[in-house]
Amino acid sequence: MKFDRFVRVAVAGLTLAVAAPLPQQAAAETLRVLAGSPSRALQVPMNRAVVVESDVPFAELSIANPGIADISSLSDRTIYVLGKEPGRTTLTILGADGNLITNVEVQVTPDVAEFRERLSQILPNEQVEVRTANDGIVLSGTVSSIAALDAALELANRYAPDRVSNLMAVGGTQQVMLRVRFAEMQRTVAKELSSSLGLGGVALGGDLGLSGGTNALANAGALASGLDGGIPAANNANGAFLFGFNAGGVEVGILLEALESRGVVRTLAEPNLTALSGQEASFLAGGEYPIPVRGSDDGGVTIEYKPFGVELNFIPTVVNDDLINIELQAAVSSIDPANGITTNGFQVDAFRRRETQTTVEMRDGESFAIAGLLSDDFRDLSGQVPWLGDVPVLGALFRSAEYERSQTELVIIITAHLVSPVRGDALALPTDRVRPPTERDLFLFGRVSSDEAPATGAAGEVARQDFSGSYGYVLD
């Protein structure tokens, strides 16, 4: 029993040993040529060698372009071909009698085997196909991002400089919608308090007179007109009180002026713009202002137009997955007549402009505050008549005080989204909810819009909503 078991085990081991595959020897890259018959093209990777074997002995070898491939004979039937530079050339084999044995077309190509190996190591999850064409490399397939495409092209240029054909496509969402929000608040407070004293006297039947005043009454022109109840023409105060009386031949006038103003300015702009990854997009909502420009040659005047309004220029680049690189230039400008100039009979207004230019990276749906400003200006001014303004109590008639404060807050926020197109009937417009009124609505009921709304589609859905939603605003 023990002997039978030993025999079975020995037979099983011998069977496994025979069935086991033998180690494969690396086959040499060779090309066999036959005398009198055309040979196929010989593919030689750059910086690698291929062996050519002839069925008859040869006596002489020549290569048309030694810069592309180098040759050497290992025996009278074996040729060693080394690829040096990508290109095509011809190997000529002659026999001992000087007759032509054959011509071999040698094609030296980039070493795509090593390139494929490096590409799979660097971009393991990308579906990139590598082929050779003439003396270059052709890349095709689909990659997930622009960054992967750039990496594949840069690596390919290492193996075939300036001989890489890019047929790859970038998959995923490659369109970016950028939302920019300009929000600015300006607050101003100004206060002013001043008093004026005027004196006038008449003697000798009007042949000799004397009049005078301080502050506003000094520029009143005639004290009598002020005492009759008029306010000086130069007055811009919100409140003024004029008190006057006669003391014999002397007229006395006291003017109290007070000014207080408050102002708030709110500026909000939200331009939205969509562009393809890597492409520049621009947006302008505003107009163009004509500016006269004098010519340098004939002295004539030409008109140039300067754009103003809400401007947006940006170049989005989808770097990897949902990471977006954005080169942005945004501005909000408006006409400012208060700071304009007049030249050669032309009135040229100035511009108020808030502008930013930057490059940032963010992911889909994220927001970034790319610019901000906090400005607080304060001005306090007190003026008086020398010495008289320092007199207690009565000195207030010879003094004036001004106070002004201006605050500005500005912030610019951007939000990026990866977007895809949709069917046209799925989009709603701000005009979908408002329809022109009928004659009955306009003349009988005084309505500026019709109550009838679209019943179906996105327009009908929007029309059933009120104006307080995210689709628009109502001006009361």
333-343: burial string, b at 16+ Cβ within 10 Å, e else: bebeeeeeeee
State the pLDDT at residue 409: 92
Tell me: pLDDT of 198 over 50: yes
State the pLDDT at residue 444: 86
Which of 118-122, 178-182, 295-299 is predicted least confidently?
295-299
State the pLDDT at residue 171: 76
Tens of pLDDT, residue by residue over 200-234, are: 654 434 444 444 455 555 444 444 454 444 444 44
Tell me: pLDDT of 59 over 60: yes
Residue with more model confidence, 204 or 130: 130
Question: Domain 112-170, what fold?
Answer: Histidine-containing Protein; Chain: A; (3.30.1340)
Tell me: pLDDT of 199 over 50: yes
Which of 193-207, 302-316, 439-453 is predicted least confidently?
193-207
Q: How far apart are CA 173 and CA 182, in angstroms?
A: 27
Q: How far apart are CA 203 and CA 306, in angstroms?
A: 65
Q: How do beta strands 208-213 and 175-203 pair? A: antiparallel
State the pLDDT at residue 452: 65
Task: State the DSSP string of 240-288.
Answer: EEEEEEEETTEEEEEEEEEEEEEEEEEEEE--EEEEETT--EEEEEEEE
188-208: burial string, b at 16+ Cβ within 10 Å, e else: eeeebbbbbbbbbbeeeeeee
Helix 146-159 / helix 112-122 crossing angle, nearest 10 deg: 150
Tell me: pLDDT of 277 over 70: yes
Residue 22 banded pLDDT, cuts 50, 70, 90: very low
**Spatial CB neighbours of 205, under 8 Å, sequence gap ≥ 6:** none
Mean pLDDT within 88-94: 88
Task: Tell me the percentage of the chain whose pLDDT exceeds 70.
Answer: 71
Q: What are the structural domain ranges in the chain?
A: 42-109, 112-170, 185-259, 422-467
Q: Which of 14-23, 70-79, 339-348 has the highest mean pLDDT?
A: 70-79
Residue 363 is encoded by which pair of tokens? 């992911």
Residue 454 banded pLDDT, cuts 50, 70, 90: low
Tens of pLDDT, residue by residue over 359-368, are: 999 999 999 9
Tens of pLDDT, residue by residue over 234-248, are: 455 556 666 666 666
Mean pLDDT within 172-191: 88
Residue with more model confidence, 167 or 46: 167
- CATH 2.60.40.1380, domain 42-109, yes or no: yes
Q: Which of 40-44, 86-90, 130-134 has the highest mean pLDDT?
A: 86-90
Mean pLDDT, rounded, of the chain: 76
Residue 34 banded pLDDT, cuts 50, 70, 90: low
Mean pLDDT within 136-144: 87
Tell me: pLDDT of 313 over 90: yes
State the pLDDT at residue 368: 92
- The strands making up 281-294's β-sheet, listed across from edge to edge, are 281-294, 301-320, 323-343, 346-363
- Return the sign of the alpha-carbon dihedral for residues 147, 152, 155, 158: negative
Mean pLDDT within 330-344: 86
State the pLDDT at residue 472: 45
Half-sphere exposure at residue 420, Cβ-oriented, CA atoms within 13 angstroms: 4
State the pLDDT at residue 262: 84
Residue with more model confidence, 258 or 317: 317
Residue with more model confidence, 243 or 348: 348
Tell me: pLDDT of 280 over 90: yes
Asked if 92 and 100 touch (Cβ cutoff 8 Å), the reply is yes
Residue 310 is encoded by which pair of tokens? 């809400």
